[in-house]
């Protein structure tokens, strides 16, 4: 029993035509009331039964039987002076039951007094008591419920957010007003600060798909006093993320990074994302499935991956190939074509038709062109630190400036790698949140069944057992594959589009709730969460992070520079003492890709003496071996055979 | 030639001889004879009754109260032929605060009415044990099932009048100023202190005090007009000052449509105030009390008192 309740503001009423049910009921209040749609109320029956409910609809009417009577009273003149008495009027509200006490037997809502919920009532009504107060508590603040002059923090249950009970979070709403990106940023802040250590370690991988959106997660943003007060109430320190690492591919030139976070003060935290032949071949389905890749091509690619790549492979004409890069691969293809031509043999090479070989060759080499900057043909690799993810670290993978095909490749490979490592339990953290904005682009409801979408479906359905959690955002939920949104245990809605609300997915919402959603101010959300029987409205503060558009003003992206200057600049972000002249002297006579590789190795190693390291890396092949040893974590460089080195 | 219907022929005849057409809908029931069809009047304002234009509607003064009462009764059982009646009466005054009506005073009473003289000692004791007030409905030695019910009903009516009286008294006592509009005649309250602040609003016109041309003038008042003020005799030797007022146009609707009679205690100011008070009543036409069938004469606040009291009793039984 919870005897303390607020003063009575309404009474439950029921008629035969409009009875009180177990899940819905009507009550009336005075015409001047603090109540509104989304408010949480409590029904207090003398018998001891208490019902908690959220207001989903409100109507008002008077005892006027027909509008004609008003016309008669005004003698047909709308401007006629109003009578001295106001008609009796009713404010009739619909409440949707959140929780009943006792829960069994489940009974219709009693015809009793209604009061506004207290803070404790809100906690109980939303069943938060079970995960906010318990021993193994895992309540993550998502925002503040306000109603009738009272406010109370609202928590989500970590077990239902990150698994194993249920998982994933999805947020919808119109562009610019729904505050989707901001809400996710705020919530990640909240989660990183409040996720209890006993539940394990977590990290986040955010795919930045739009401009500078997620480029300044480590920079403090401006907050209002209201925001700060909300942070106080939620028990969160409004500070930006501490461990953020950025990963961005190069632009086509191979030295300038393809990201808006290229200001020299921040450049140090951006790691280039560079993949080689092996990384691409492993995910060839992404690149090839759009076209008519068939079983024959598949078989040939399998042959390449199993028998050729990174192995000593001797062809029929006596040449031994070691294919580690796209260039090596091209050399192999040329050797095959020339060999076949010279010997005038059939159209087949080792059971593969020459047409198939040509097709695969064209596709693969095309990739290194379309994804230039991401895919190198010289064999150097720079990747996310799979295996050494740190607790509460954020990895932003910036694909905003990339070709769609390259975005798909990055996305698929990053997620697949996360999955592999989580399955083997050697990622470095137990749980990783993948935040994908514009989910409709990657998992559309209709359109071809792409590899990317299949993978997202797979995470949605099985990720919770692995600790692979998807935070997805999109404008229109109806445009995302049903199983992807349907599997999100928690759903947030910002300001919504009316046409979207008219689609079948929103039929469960009352008309008043829909109108409220269509007019929701910035910073307010509607939440569906497994513990909440009904959707609940909350407010949340601005994220304590520099918003993307403000960030690019404060930290304007570095101007694109020519090759030499880019090398100088990147080295000087590692060590300010480096003299430009010295760098330029060093690289004279070296091929661009050799310089790129040395630069990449230096950036990754972040050594104390960057210039010395760079010089060593640039020097002789022997020196390169030493470099690899000191990098430690990756073994890729060891296998690199620079065709132009000698 | 097409034969015109009887109705049309009669209308034509009335119009041809300068009559007015329009009246009631189809009736089937022949009403009970009137108990007091005639009373007498004494002209105060004019020698003959005149139609006086009231002017623009005007809001009644702040603090005006509206009184009404209700009654409910039922036969719970009988001792032999003697009916045992359970009765409930209530009365309330509503006042206006910021255009909203709210309850100022109210009383209610639940009781038993029966013919006490015909009960045995035991029967009486048992009824007394109910701890409800017990009222005697009397009755002759000779029993009559219908007449005995009428007598019980008289008790109920009497209790209601007393309930109303109690509310009126406490209202007048608590509020040294302001008008109180009551439903019906003010005759029962003439002796009270403050009776001069009571305004009776009478909707039925069973008793006619005027005759001849005076009656014709009063009964055919145009909308927004009142009759001259005249005095009528109440039960005893007391007098009430009274006049008719037409709230709604009555053409086509029947003679009594929108016609009310207002009553005041016999004070000299009555004649002076008649037009102003009539203007107040005109302003009460909005909001309309429809769908109540008496909307043409029932003002909205009065209907609200009634609705309030009815809602209070609920199903009652
Ligand atoms: N809690 C908040 N209170 C008030 N305003 C906010 C809040 N959070 C964000 N905003 C403002 O709302 C605007 C839009 O935010 P945001 O970029 O997150 O929206 P979005 O839904 O992601 O838009 P888009 O679909 O274009 O990506 C920003 O200008 C931001 O400053
Ligand atoms: Mg956004």
Interatomic CA distance for residues A221 and A218, integer angstroms: 9
> Which of A85, A86, A87, A89 should we substitute to test contact with B (largest number of B Cβ atoms within 10 Å)?
A85
Contact check, Cβ <8 Å, A73/B291: no
Domain membership of residue A639 as a residue range = 561-646
CA distance B126 to chain A (A): 33
CA closest to A73 among chain B residues = B286
| Whether the Cβ atoms of residue B180 and residue B197 lie closer than 8 Å to each other | yes
CA distance A508 to chain B (A): 36
Its sign, for the CA torsion A580, A586, A590, A595, is: negative
Q: What is the pLDDT of residue A632?
A: 36
- Average model confidence (pLDDT) for chain A? 87
Same domain, A171 and A256: yes
Hey, how many other C-beta atoms are within 10 angstroms of the C-beta on B107?
17
Helix axes A592-605, A621-631, angle to 10 degrees: 30
Number of domains in chain B: 2
Ligand 1: lining residues by beta carbon, under 6 Å: A 173, 175-176, 178-182, 475, 494, 522-523, 540-542, 547
Give the confidence band of A634 by pLDDT, cuts at 50, 70, 90.
Answer: very low
Structure tokens at A452: 């990317």
> Best of A182, A190, A500 to mutate for ligand 1, by most ligand atoms within 8 A of CB?
A182
Q: Which residue has the higher pLDDT, A562 or A2?
A: A562
Q: Provide mean pLDDT across the span A558-586.
A: 84
A478 φ/ψ sector (left φ>0, alpha ψ -120 to 50, else beta): alpha
**Ligand 2 center–CA A56 separation, angstroms:** 28
**Residue A469 domain-assigned?**
yes
- Rounded to two decimals, the ipTM of the complex is 0.80
Same domain, B200 and B154: no
CA distance B99 to chain A (A): 5
Domain's final residue, options A528, A551, A574 = A551
**Ligand 1 center–CA A434 separation, angstroms:** 20
> What distances in angstroms separate CA A130 from CA A49, A51, A166, one per listed residue?
20, 18, 16
Whether residue A646 is predicted with pLDDT greater than 80 in this model: the reply is no
Cα distance between the two ends of chain A: 84
**Contact pairs from chain A to chain B, CB under 8 Å:** 55
Interatomic CA distance for residues A140 and A131, integer angstroms: 9
Same domain, A177 and A94: no
Same domain, A628 and A538: no
Q: Which DSSP category does A274 fall into?
A: B
Helix axes A563-574, A580-587, angle to 10 degrees: 120
**Residue A483 domain-assigned?**
yes
Same domain, A252 and A353: no
Contact check, Cβ <8 Å, A87/B290: no
Q: What is the pLDDT of residue B13?
A: 86
Same domain, A434 and A487: yes
Same domain, B279 and B183: yes
| Chain A residues with at least one Cβ partner in B under 8 Å | 63-66, 69-70, 72-74, 80-88
Q: Is B223 on the interface with A (CB under 8 A)?
A: no
Number of domains in chain A: 4
Contact check, Cβ <8 Å, B285/A65: no
Same domain, B60 and B185: yes
The number of C-alpha atoms within 13 Å of A471 and in the hemisphere containing its C-beta is 24
Give the confidence band of A292 by pLDDT, cuts at 50, 70, 90.
Answer: low
Same domain, B184 and B279: yes
Same domain, B240 and B266: yes
Same domain, B53 and B202: yes
Q: Which residue has the higher pLDDT, A1 or B223?
A: B223
Domain membership of residue B46 as a residue range = 35-64+178-285
**Residue A378 domain-assigned?**
no
Q: Please name the member of A63, A65, A82 whose beta carbon is closest to the beta carbon of B286.
A: A82
CA distance B110 to chain A (A): 25
Q: Which DSSP category does A257 fall into?
A: B
Give the confidence band of A388 by pLDDT, cuts at 50, 70, 90.
Answer: very high
From the CA of A143, which ligand is nearest?
A: 1
Q: What is the pLDDT of residue A288?
A: 67
Respond yes or no on whether the N-terminal peptide bond of residue A629 is cis (omega within 30° of 0): no
Same domain, A543 and A395: yes
**Residue A143 domain-assigned?**
no
Whether residue A639 is predicted with pLDDT greater than 60 in this model: the reply is no
What are phi and psi for residue A475, nearest 5 degrees?
-70, -50
Q: Which helix (H) or strand (E) holds A459?
A: helix A451-466
Question: Which residues in chain B are contacts of A111 at CB distance < 8 A?
Answer: none
Same domain, A409 and A525: yes
The answer, as to whether pTM is greater than 0.95, is no
**Residue B160 domain-assigned?**
yes
Hey, how many other C-beta atoms are within 10 angstroms of the C-beta on A123?
21
Q: Of all residues in chain A, what percent carry a pLDDT higher than 70? A: 94
Q: What is the pLDDT of residue A118?
A: 93
**Residue A499 domain-assigned?**
yes
Give the confidence band of A3 by pLDDT, cuts at 50, 70, 90.
Answer: low
**Residue B130 domain-assigned?**
yes
In the beta sheet, which residues pair with residue A395? A205, A245
Look-up of token digits 């190069």: A250
Same domain, A545 and A568: no
Structure tokens at A126: 């939303």
**Residue A375 domain-assigned?**
no
CA closest to B247 among chain A residues = A73
Q: What is the pLDDT of residue A378?
A: 65
Q: What is the pLDDT of residue A625?
A: 37
Domain's final residue, options A551, A578, A603 = A551
Q: Is B300 on the interface with A (CB under 8 A)?
A: yes
Question: Which residues in chain B are contacts of A82 at CB distance < 8 A?
Answer: 286
Same domain, B59 and B80: no
Interatomic CA distance for residues A214 and A250, integer angstroms: 18
Question: Which residues in chain B are contacts of A69 at CB distance < 8 A?
Answer: 287-288, 290-291, 295
Q: Please name the member of B101, B286, B307 whose beta carbon is closest to the beta carbon of A73.
A: B286
Domain's final residue, options B129, B150, B177 = B177
Same domain, B58 and B184: yes
From the CA of A546, which ligand is nearest?
A: 1
Give the confidence band of A496 by pLDDT, cuts at 50, 70, 90.
Answer: very high
CA angle A590, A593, A595 (to 5 degrees): 50
Residues A232-281: pLDDT tens digits? Answer: 999 999 999 999 999 999 888 778 888 999 888 888 889 888 888 888 88
Contacts of A48 (CB under 8 A, 6+ apart): A1
Structure tokens at A271: 């790691």
Domain's final residue, options B177, B208, B234 = B177
Domain's final residue, options A551, A570, A587 = A551
Whether residue A474 is predicted with pLDDT greater than 90 in this model: the reply is yes
Q: Provide mean pLDDT across the span A531-550.
A: 94
Specify the length of chain A in residues: 646
Question: Which residues in chain A are contacts of B59 at CB distance < 8 A?
Answer: 84
Same domain, B182 and B172: no
Domain's final residue, options B110, B144, B177 = B177
Residues A95-122: pLDDT tens digits? Answer: 999 999 999 999 999 999 999 999 999 9
CA distance B102 to chain A (A): 10
Question: Which residues in chain A are contacts of B288 at CB distance < 8 A?
Answer: 69-70, 72-73
Whether residue A633 is predicted with pLDDT greater than 70 in this model: the reply is no
Same domain, A401 and A522: yes
In the beta sheet, which residues pair with residue A172? A474, A493
Q: Which chain B residues in 120-179 lie under 8 Å from chain A, judged by CB atoms? A: none
> What 3-state DSSP class applies to A173?
coil
CA distance A109 to chain B (A): 21
> What distances in angstroms separate CA B239 from CA A83, A100, A176, A465, B279, one per listed residue?
33, 65, 79, 94, 24
**Residue B211 domain-assigned?**
yes
Contact check, Cβ <8 Å, B304/A88: yes
Q: Is B291 on the interface with A (CB under 8 A)?
A: yes
Contact check, Cβ <8 Å, A83/B301: no
**Residue B302 domain-assigned?**
no
Same domain, B166 and B74: yes
Contacts of A20 (CB under 8 A, 6+ apart): A12, A14, A26, A108, A109, A110, A111
> What distances in angstroms separate CA A628 from CA A171, A245, A631, one per listed residue?
43, 22, 5
Interatomic CA distance for residues A118 and A101, integer angstroms: 16
> What distances in angstroms separate CA A580 from CA A565, A575, A587, A607, A615, one per listed residue?
8, 11, 11, 18, 14
**Residue A136 domain-assigned?**
no
Interatomic CA distance for residues A600 and A257, integer angstroms: 12
Q: Provide mean pLDDT across the span A214-231.
A: 95
CA closest to B285 among chain A residues = A73
Same domain, B136 and B197: no
- The residue contributing the CA closest to ligand 1 atom 23 is A176
Same domain, B47 and B170: no
**Residue A142 domain-assigned?**
no
**Residue B96 domain-assigned?**
yes
**Residue B16 domain-assigned?**
no
Helix ranges restricted to H, A314-450 = 326-343, 354-370, 404-424, 439-442
Same domain, A389 and A316: no
> What 3-state DSSP class applies to A578?
coil
The number of C-alpha atoms within 13 Å of B221 and in the hemisphere containing its C-beta is 28
Interatomic CA distance for residues A173 and A177, integer angstroms: 8
**Ligand 2 center–CA A183 separation, angstroms:** 9
Q: Which helix (H) or strand (E) holds B159?
A: helix B145-174
Contact check, Cβ <8 Å, A69/B283: no
**Residue B269 domain-assigned?**
yes
Its sign, for the CA torsion A507, A508, A512, A514, is: negative
User: Mean pLDDT, consecutive 10-residue segments, chain B of 317 residues?
Assistant: 78 85 79 86 93 94 93 92 93 92 93 93 94 91 88 95 94 91 92 92 94 95 96 85 95 89 92 95 93 93 93 77
Whether residue A152 is predicted with pLDDT greater than 50 in this model: the reply is yes
Same domain, A516 and A404: yes
Give the confidence band of A145 by pLDDT, cuts at 50, 70, 90.
Answer: very high
Q: Provide mean pLDDT across the span A370-394.
A: 84
Interatomic CA distance for residues A265 and B267, integer angstroms: 97
Q: Which atom of ligand 1 is nearest to the CA of A437?
A: 27
Interatomic CA distance for residues A402 and A247, integer angstroms: 13
Same domain, A448 and A517: yes
Question: Which residues in chain B are contacts of A88 at CB distance < 8 A?
Answer: 101, 304, 307
Q: What is the pLDDT of residue A405?
A: 81
**Residue B5 domain-assigned?**
no
Cα distance between the two ends of chain B: 62
């Amino acid at each position: 029993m919870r005897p303390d309740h607020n003063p009575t503001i309404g009474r439950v009423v029921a008629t035969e035509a409009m009875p009180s049910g177990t899940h819905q009921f009507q009550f009336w209040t005075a015409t001047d009331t603090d109540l509104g749609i989304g408010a949480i109320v409590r029904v207090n029956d003398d018998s001891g039964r208490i019902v908690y409910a959220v207001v989903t609809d409100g109507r008002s009417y008077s005892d006027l039987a027909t509008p004609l009577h008003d016309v008669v009273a005004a003698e047909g003149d709308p401007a006629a002076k109003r009578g001295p008495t106001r008609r009796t009027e009713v404010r009739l509200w619909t409440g949707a039951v959140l929780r009943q006490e006792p829960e069994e037997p489940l009974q219709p809502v009693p015809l009793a007094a209604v009061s506004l919920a207290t803070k404790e009532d809100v906690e109980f009504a939303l069943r938060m008591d079970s995960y906010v107060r318990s021993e193994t508590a895992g309540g993550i603040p998502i925002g503040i419920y306000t109603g009738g002059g009272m406010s109370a923090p609202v928590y989500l249950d970590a077990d239902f957010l990150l698994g194993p009970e249920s998982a994933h979070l999805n947020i919808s709403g119109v562009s610019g007003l729904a505050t989707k990106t901001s809400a996710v940023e705020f919530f990640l802040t909240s989660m990183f600060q409040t996720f209890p250590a006993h539940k394990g370690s977590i990290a986040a991988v955010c795919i930045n798909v739009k401009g500078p959106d997620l480029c300044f997660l480590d920079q403090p943003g401006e907050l209002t006093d209201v925001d700060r007060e909300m942070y106080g109430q939620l028990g969160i320190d409004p500070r930006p993320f501490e461990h953020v690492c950025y990963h961005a591919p190069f632009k086509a030139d191979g030295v300038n990074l393809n990201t808006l976070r290229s200001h020299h003060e921040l450049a140090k935290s951006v790691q280039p994302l560079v993949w080689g032949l092996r990384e691409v071949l492993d995910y060839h389905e992404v690149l090839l499935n759009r076209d008519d890749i068939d079983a024959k091509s598949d078989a040939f690619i399998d042959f390449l991956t199993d028998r050729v790549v990174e192995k000593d492979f001797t062809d029929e004409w006596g040449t031994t190939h070691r294919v580690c890069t796209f260039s090596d691969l091209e050399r192999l293809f040329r050797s095959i074509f020339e060999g076949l031509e010279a010997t005038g043999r059939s159209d087949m090479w080792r059971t593969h038709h020459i047409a198939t070989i040509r097709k695969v060759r064209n596709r693969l080499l095309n990739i290194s062109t379309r994804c230039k900057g991401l895919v190198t043909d010289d064999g150097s690799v720079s990747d996310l630190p799979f295996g050494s993810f740190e607790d509460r670290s954020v990895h932003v993978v910036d694909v905003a400036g990339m070709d769609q095909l390259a975005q798909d490749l990055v996305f698929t490979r990053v997620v697949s790698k996360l999955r592999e490592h989580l399955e083997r339990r050697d990622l470095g953290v137990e749980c990783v949140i993948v935040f994908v904005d514009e989910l409709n682009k990657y998992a559309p409801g209709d359109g071809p069944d792409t590899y990317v979408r299949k993978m997202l479906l797979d995470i949605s359905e099985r990720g919770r057992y692995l600790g692979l959690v998807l935070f997805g955002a999109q404008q229109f939920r109806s445009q995302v594959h049903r199983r992807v949104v349907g599997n999100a245990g928690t759903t947030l809605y910002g300001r919504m589009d009316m046409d979207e609300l008219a689609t079948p997915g929103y039929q469960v919402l009352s008309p008043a709730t829909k109108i409220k959603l269509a007019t929701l101010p910035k910073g307010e959300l509607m939440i569906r969460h497994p513990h909440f029987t009904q959707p609940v409205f909350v407010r949340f503060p601005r994220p304590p992070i520099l918003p993307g558009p403000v960030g690019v003003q404060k930290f304007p992206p570095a101007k694109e520079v020519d090759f030499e200057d880019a090398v100088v600049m990147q080295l000087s972000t590692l060590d300010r003492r480096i003299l430009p002249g010295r760098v330029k002297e060093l690289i004279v006579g070296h091929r661009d890709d050799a310089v790129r590789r040395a630069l990449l190795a230096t950036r990754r190693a972040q050594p104390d003496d960057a210039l010395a390291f760079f010089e060593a890396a640039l020097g002789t092949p022997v020196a390169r071996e030493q470099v690899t040893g000191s990098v430690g974590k990756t073994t890729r460089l060891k296998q690199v055979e620079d065709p132009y080195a000698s | 030639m097409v034969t015109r219907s009887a109705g049309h022929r009669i209308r034509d005849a009335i119009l041809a001889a300068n009559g007015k057409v329009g009246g009631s809908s189809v009736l089937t029931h022949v009403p009970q004879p009137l108990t007091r069809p005639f009373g007498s009047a004494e002209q105060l304002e004019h020698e003959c009754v005149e139609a006086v234009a009231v002017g623009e509607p005007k809001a009644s003064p702040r603090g005006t109260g509206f009184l009404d009462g209700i009654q409910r009764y039922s036969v719970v059982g009988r001792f032999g032929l003697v009916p045992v009646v359970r009765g409930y009466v209530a009365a309330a005054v509503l006042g206006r605060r910021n255009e909203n009506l709210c309850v100022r005073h109210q009383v209610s009473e639940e009781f038993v009415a029966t013919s006490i003289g015909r009960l045995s000692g035991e029967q009486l004791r048992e009824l007394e044990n109910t701890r409800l007030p017990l009222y005697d409905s009397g009755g002759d030695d000779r029993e009559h099932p219908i007449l005995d019910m009428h007598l019980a009903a008289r008790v109920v009516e009497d209790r209601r009048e007393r309930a109303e009286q109690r509310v009126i008294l406490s209202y007048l006592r608590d509020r040294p100023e302001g008008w109180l509009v009551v439903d019906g005649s003010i005759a029962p309250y003439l002796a009270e202190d403050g009776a001069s602040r009571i305004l009776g609003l009478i909707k039925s016109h069973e008793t006619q005090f005027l005759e001849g041309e005076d009656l014709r003038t009063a009964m055919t008042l145009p909308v927004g007009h009142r009759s001259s003020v005249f005095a009528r005799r109440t039960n005893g030797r007391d007098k009430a000052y009274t006049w008719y007022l037409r709230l709604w146009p009555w053409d086509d609707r029947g003679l009594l449509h929108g016609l009310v009679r207002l009553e005041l205690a016999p004070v000299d100011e009555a004649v002076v105030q008649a037009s102003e008070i009539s203007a107040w009543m005109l302003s009460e036409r909005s909001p309309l009390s429809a769908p109540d069938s008496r909307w043409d004469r029932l003002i909205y606040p009065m209907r609200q008192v009634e609705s309030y009291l009815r809602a209070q009793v609920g199903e009652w039984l």
